[in-house]
Amino acid sequence: MTAVPTSWFLLLSAILFVIGAGGVLLRRNVLIMLMSVEMMMNAVNLTFIALSRHLSSLTGQIFVFMVMAVAAVEVAVGLAILIELNRLRATTDVDDVSSLKG
Amino acid sequence: MPIEIPTLNFIALAPPLIVIGTALLVLLFDLAVTDKRVLGYLGLVGVVIAAGVSIAMGPRPATTFQAMAISDGYALFFNLVFLATAGLSILIAIDYLERHDLQRGEYYALLLFSASGMMLMAAATDLIVVFLGLEIMSVALYILAGFNWRQLASAEAAMKYFILGAFASAFFLYGAALTYGATGTTNLNQIGLWLSGGNSDPMALVGLGLLLAGFAFKVAAVPFQWWTPDVYQGAPTSVTAFMSVGAKGAGFAALIRVLRSGFGDSAYSADWALAAAVLAVLTMTFGNLAALPQKDVKRMLGYSSIAHAGYILVGVAAASESGVRGVLFYLLAYAFMNVGAFAVASALERRGEFSTTQRDYAGLSQREPLLAVAMTVFMLSLTGMPPLVGFWGKLFVFRAAVEAGMSWLAIVGVINSAVSAFYYLGVVVQMYMRAPAEYSPRLVGEESDAKKPAAVNLEVAIGTAVLLAMLLTVVLGLWPGPVASLVTMMPLG
Q: What is the pLDDT of residues A29-73, one digit of tens each?
A: 889 999 999 999 999 999 999 999 999 999 999 999 999 999 999
The C-alpha of A3 sits at a distance from chain B's nearest C-alpha, in angstroms, of 19
In this predicted structure, what is the pLDDT of residue B368?
84
The 3-state secondary structure of B246-304, one letter per residue: HHHHHHHHHHHHHHHHHCCCCCCHHHHHHHHHHHHHHHHHHHHHHHCCCCEHHHHHHHH
pTM: 0.92
In this predicted structure, the answer to whether residue B446 has a pLDDT above a threshold of 70 is no
The confidence score (pLDDT) of residue B437 equals 54
What percent of chain B lies above the pLDDT cut of 90?
A: 66
The arithmetic mean of pLDDT across residues B189-214, rounded, is 90
Does B156 contact chain A (CB < 8 Å)? yes
Three-state DSSP class for A83?
helix
Comparing C-alpha atoms, which of B168, B273, B165, B261 is closest to residue B211? B168
| Contact state of B142 with A57 under an 8 Å Cβ cutoff | no
**Surface of B (234-253) touching A: CB under 8 A:** 234
The answer on pLDDT for B447 being more than 50 is: no
**Which residue among B159, B170, B233 places its CB closest to the CB of A44?**
B170
Q: Which of residues 203-222 of B touch A (CB under 8 A)?
A: none
- % pLDDT > 70, chain B: 95
Burial of A90 per CB tally in 10 Å (0-12, 13-18, 19+): exposed
Query: Is B142 within 8 Å of B233 (Cβ atoms)?
Result: no
The Cα–Cα gap between B176 and B129 comes to: 11
Give B289→chain A minimum CA distance, Å.
Answer: 13
Lowest mean pLDDT among B120-124, B294-298, B364-368: B364-368
Chain mean position to CA B322: 21
Is the CB of residue B120 less than 8 Å from the CB of residue B138? no
Query: Alpha-carbon distance B157 to B417, whole Å?
Result: 28
Does B132 lie at the interface with A, CB-CB under 8 angstroms? yes
Bridge-based pairing of strands B69-71 and B62-64 is antiparallel
What sign results for the dihedral spanned by CA atoms B136, B390, B225, A85?
positive
Task: Kindly give the residue spans of alpha helices, DSSP state H, lying in chain A.
Answer: 6-26, 30-55, 59-88
Is the per-residue pLDDT at B146 higher than 50?
A: yes
User: Measured between CA atoms, how close is A5 to chain B, in angstroms?
Assistant: 14
pLDDT tier for residue A22 given thresholds of 50, 70 and 90: very high
If you average pLDDT over residues B460-465, what whole number do you get? Answer: 90
CA distance A45 to A12: 12
> Which of B165, B174, B111 has the alpha carbon at shortest distance from B135?
B165
Q: What is the pLDDT of residue B2?
A: 77
Mean pLDDT of chain B: 89
Query: How many Cβ pairs within 8 Å bridge chains A and B?
Result: 129
CATH topology for A6-93 is Helix Hairpins (1.10.287)
pLDDT value for B389:
93
Phi-psi region of B60 (alpha: psi -120 to 50; beta: other; left: phi over 0): beta
Is the pLDDT score of B370 beyond 70?
yes
**Residue B457: band (very low, low, confident or very high) from pLDDT cuts 50, 70, 90:** low
List CB contacts (< 8 A) between B201 and chain A: none
Q: CB-based contact (8 Å) between A35 and chain B?
A: no
Instruction: Look at the alpha carbons of B204, B205, B206, B208 in this order and tell me if their dihedral is positive or negative.
Output: positive
Cβ–Cβ gap A54/B181 under 8 Å:
yes
Is it true that the peptide bond before B2 is cis, omega within 30 degrees of 0? Answer: no
Residue B35 burial (10 A CB sphere; 0-12, 13-18, 19+) = exposed
Domain spans of chain A, in order of start: 6-93
CB contact under 8 A, B131 and A60: no
A56–chain B Cβ distance below 8 A for any pair: no
The verdict on B100 touching A (C-beta cutoff 8 Å) is no
Q: Is the pLDDT of residue B438 over 70?
A: no
How far apart, in whole angstroms, are the C-alpha atoms of residue B264 and residue B125? 14
Task: Determine the pLDDT at residue B456.
Answer: 54
Q: Which residue would you say has higher pLDDT here, B381 or B439?
A: B381
Residues of B in contact with A85 (CB under 8 A): 152, 155-156, 158-159
Q: Residue B444 — pLDDT band, cuts 50, 70, 90?
A: very low
Tell me whether A84 touches chain B (CB under 8 Å): yes
Whether A47 and B229 lie within 8 Å, measured CB to CB = no
Domain boundaries, chain B: 10-488
Residue B455 has what pLDDT? 52
Residue A80: closest C-alpha in chain B: B143
Please work out, in degrees rounded to the nearest 5, the angle formed at the alpha carbon of residue A53 by the alpha carbons of A48 and A56: 115
| Greatest Cα pair distance in chain B | 82
Position A102 confidence tier, pLDDT thresholds 50, 70, 90: low
Burial of B290 (0-12, 13-18, 19+ CB in 10 A): buried
**Three-class DSSP category at A79:** helix
Give yes or no for residue B239 having a pLDDT over 50: yes
> A93 by DSSP, 3-state: which?
strand
| pLDDT, greater one: B488 or B304 | B304
Q: B365: pLDDT confidence band, cut at 50, 70 and 90? A: confident
Question: What's the Cα-to-Cα distance from B22 to each of B40, B176, B259, rounded to whole Å?
Answer: 11, 32, 32
Q: Is the pLDDT of residue B458 over 90?
A: no
Q: Any idea which of B145-159, B305-319, B325-339, B353-367 has the lowest mean pLDDT?
A: B353-367
Q: What is the pLDDT of residue B1?
A: 67
- Report the complex ipTM: 0.93
Q: Tell me what the mean pLDDT of segment B387-404 comes to.
A: 93
List the beta bridge partners of residue A93.
A29
Q: Taking residues B157-168, what's their average pLDDT?
A: 93
